[in-house]
Amino acid sequence: MRSDNLFYKLFQLAPSLAFELLGLTVPTVPYQFQSVELKEFGFRLDGLLLPETSDENLPLIVIEAQMQPDVRFYYRLQGELATYLLQYQPRHSWQVLVLYPNRRTEREIPNMAEYLTYWRVRRIYLDELPAQQSIGMELLRLIVAPEEDAVTIGRAIITQAQEPWLEWVVEALVRKFPGQESRRIMEMLGLAPLQQTRFYQEVFQEGEVSGRQAEAVALVLRLLQRKVGPLSPDQTQRIQSLPLEQLEALGEALLDFQSAADLENWFARHATE
């Protein structure tokens, strides 16, 4: 399954997980997760944790999720990191965290030990993570868990997780079981479908259309932003102009959205309705 976005959403929600994997003390100051464009070189660091402080004792952390074999990976990583250091000249030290699904995926290079030491690289093999260490560790294990174990791990997570984690677990299982709809995944996890939640029923309650339009728009916009990211002004305006019936249909359909393109496809299919 495609999992890059899952990793980056995970570290956006829990930057402290990177410190846990590296065996470092979790700092009390906040960290910001971002993607950095390396101008003129065609490189991009997709996962970078930066401390929101000038304290030079705190490291910046580069995160790479390498889910497929790639004989050029370590050379590319070296080029990206060297380019970042040259272009931004950070005063912080750095750590590199590389996540593999298993050892079979890794492709080593000559002088591997020296490379890892010089570039400060720590490798983590997700299938070797110990069980039940923390919610963050369990979320990582869920990504690579066999299908027969995934639902059990997901159920265990949601018994102690808060709302953002619930959405992440559902999205991870939707990708692991591509033939299943989000509604079915939520049933497998023992969760009520969106249509059965109290807030949804209050907004879309039959016979209570008057006065509910603004609430329905707010609900759909909030769910969409969580699923596909910030919306454009045009998209927001189009959603605000939808009748209540189409808002309800969009609220159900967005459970299976993966990107903003899915929203545009939905608009195209319902333009004439």
> What letter represents residue 63's amino acid?
I
Cα(110)–Cα(107) distance, rounded to whole angstroms?
10
Element (H, E) at 22: helix 16-22
The neighbour count for residue 148, using CB atoms within 10 Å, is: 7
Pairing state between β 60-65 and 94-100: parallel
Greatest pairwise CA separation for the chain in angstroms: 71
Tokens standing for 91?
Answer: 């005063």
Strand arrangement of the beta sheet that strand 60-65 belongs to:
31-38, 43-51, 60-65, 94-100, 121-125
- Residue 192: the pLDDT is 59
Q: CA-to-CA distance for 265 and 271, rounded, in angstroms?
A: 10
The distance of Cα 167 from the centroid of its chain, to the nearest Å, equals 10
Structure tokens at 19: 């410190």
Q: Is the pLDDT confidence value at 199 over 50?
A: no
pLDDT in tens, 152-193: 888 888 877 666 677 788 888 888 887 776 667 777 877 655
Is the model's pTM score more than 0.85? no
- Mean pLDDT comparison of 33-42, 82-91, 201-210, 263-272, highest-scoring range: 82-91
Instruction: Indicate the helix (H) or strand (E) that contains 33.
Output: strand 31-38
Q: Over the stretch 206-243, which tens digit does the pLDDT of each residue have?
A: 444 445 677 778 778 888 887 788 888 888 888 888 88
